[in-house]
Amino acid sequence: MILDDRKVAVVTGTSGQLGPVWVETLNEMRYQVFGIDLPHYDVSNPEMVNFAAMECMTHHGVPEVIVLNAAIDNPPGSAATFHGNLQKIINVNLVGATNVVKAFLKAMMDEGRGTIIAITSIQGYIGADWRNYTGDFEKPVGYNLSKAALMQYARSLTVQYGRHGIRACCIGFGPYDGGKIPKDFLDKFLRNVPTGRAVSRESLKAAMRFAVECPEFAGQSVLIDGGYTAW
């Protein structure tokens, strides 16, 4: 029985660095948010995702918005290698996203509407610059591959299912200054940012509102990076 008459949004990875920002933004837009996240749901496990989808649609309804946010990575300062954890990263960041979409897609098509927003990254556009890091840290290429692939996934979803009222898009970002980025990395990175600014919480929220509210933003991606890739 569905008791809440607000629109429904699904957000994966609600407990991560960006997840709470998406939940807050969607709540402000009068969406009730159903979170898919560990420890209850693992996006890389199709059975868990299907159970989550059943729970969501039974108790809240079919989502109008899905935010594909769940991701794993080795951040600066951690132990990592270029090819390290590649399969696991792809399974969560990319295959996990497809698991979530598949679980809700038919119901969204039956409703004749749906917006799928994938959270990508500056690393889906460029290679990680080793000069921004200290010591022997290597940015895992699995993260970069997964974020680039999500952009192609959004294009393909839109072309295939746009006629059923489904659109997919991507919003990607440079480093978000949420207080968790090592200062030495941020200082090096910002030297090559024309605006001299990391991505703010306000910019994250503005990008999400745009992605939700612009019905012609379909099959495309935007990158908010302070001009880093404009050189």
Q: What is the CATH classification number for the domain harbouring 11? A: 3.40.50.720
Integer Cα distance of 176 and 180 in angstroms: 9
Within-domain flag for 46 = yes
Mean pLDDT of 120-140: 92
Contact 110, 161 (CB under 8 A): no
Token pair for residue 88? 């696991």
Q: Supply 99's token pair.
A: 């698991």
Q: Using one digit for the tens of pLDDT, what is the confidence trace for 44-55?
A: 999 999 999 999
Could you give the number of structural domains in the chain?
Answer: 1
DSSP for residue 55: H
pLDDT score of 4: 63
Q: Is residue 115 part of a domain?
A: yes
The model's pLDDT over 63-88, given as tens digits with 9 standing for 90+, comes to: 999 999 999 998 666 778 999 999 99
Question: Is 2 a domain residue?
Answer: no
Which segments of 60-163 does DSSP mark as H helices, in order?
Answer: 86-90, 96-111, 141-161
- Give the residue from 150, 130, 147 showing the smallest Cα distance to 139: 130
Whether 23 is covered by a domain: the verdict is: yes
Token pair 């990158």: residue: 223
Q: Is residue 182 situated within a structural domain?
A: yes
Percent of the chain as helix, strand, coil, to the nearest 5: 45, 15, 40
pLDDT for the residue 1: 46
Residue 30's domain comprises: 7-225
Query: What is the pLDDT at residue 180?
Result: 81
Residue 1 falls inside a structural domain: no
For residue 39, give the 3-state DSSP assignment: coil
In a domain, 112, yes or no: yes
For the whole prediction, is pTM greater than 0.85?
A: yes
Q: 138 and 80 in contact (C-beta within 8 Å)? A: yes
Q: For 156-160, 179-183, 184-188, which range has the lowest pLDDT when averaged over its residues?
A: 179-183
Q: Is residue 231 part of a domain?
A: no
